[in-house]
Copies of this chain bind each other. A is one copy, B any other.
Amino acid sequence: MSPPSSSSSQQTTLRIGIIGFGPFAQFLAKTLMKQGHFISATSRSDYSDLCTNLGILFFRDIGAFLESDNDIIMISTSILSLSRVVESIPFHCLKRPTLFIDVLSVKEHPKDVLLRILPEECDLLCTHPMFGPESGKDGWTDLTFMYDMVRIRDQHLCSSFLQIFSTEGCKMLEMTCEEHDRLAARSQFLTHTIGRILVEMEVESTPIDTKGFQKLVQVKESSAKDSFDLFSGLFIHNRFARQQMKNLEVAIEKLQERSKELQDPIISKL
């Protein structure tokens, strides 16, 4: 029954335990399993039946989960619940130094929390697979996998994990958590913000859609599938997000001011 632990063979079979088994973790787990890794999971909700069907060992008790001896523990909670979950982990149950990996959509926050709370002997890899069940449904080729080797001493174990994503064809992008959050505020967070605004405005297709508007409807529909918790997490726990929100408000004010200036008919062209 017991699968081999990490070894120095070309394709190492890893024992990966997942904390937080929501839709994103389930999506990742399918590919991890396809590649032959041994997966276990624990979560606040009971995913016993789902895990049984997938061939994943599910633990209701996080202590028993930690004692089951994983090479890697992947943290896939919501951004908002991360601190509380990590603070509740009974690290004394770990049998040996373990590589902790998070897959959250903000990076400085989990890095800070985990560096503060993880046992010193545990390694830490912060990652952001920049895709999900929708964008990654036809495979992961050319989709971006960002990572920051925050505290890595077991290079081989870390490489074995990264290899999972490079094998699938991901664009592997090493950058600091800070640089990620700075860029993500300007791109991913802004997209979620616009999408949420369009959800709030109840934007719908019309009989006179332009091509540009059709793209906005797609952005809105994609946001509507994500939880509001995700948006809030991106907003609250990326320190660059607040400035983006301000920039957005300032841009709207400027637009209206410039338009009002033009309303005074000084400028008139044929």
Contacts and interface: CB of A to CB of B under 8 A. Distances in A.
Interface of A: 19-20, 43-45, 77-78, 80-81, 83-85, 128, 130-131, 135, 144, 146, 173, 175, 180, 183-184, 186-188, 190-197, 200-201, 203-213, 215-216, 218-219, 222-223, 228-229, 231-232, 235-236, 244-245, 247-252, 254-256, 258-259, 262-263, 265, 267-270
Contact of A197 (B196, B252, B268): B252
A28 to B, nearest CB: 16
A208 B184 contact: yes
| A interface SS class | helix
Given A131-B211, A180-B208, A188-B213, 5 more contacts: A80-B262, A80-B265, A183-B206, A190-B213, A194-B216
A255 B236 contact: no
Contacts of A208: 128, 130, 144, 146, 173, 175, 180, 183-184, 187-188
Contact of A259 (B77, B203, B232, B252): B232
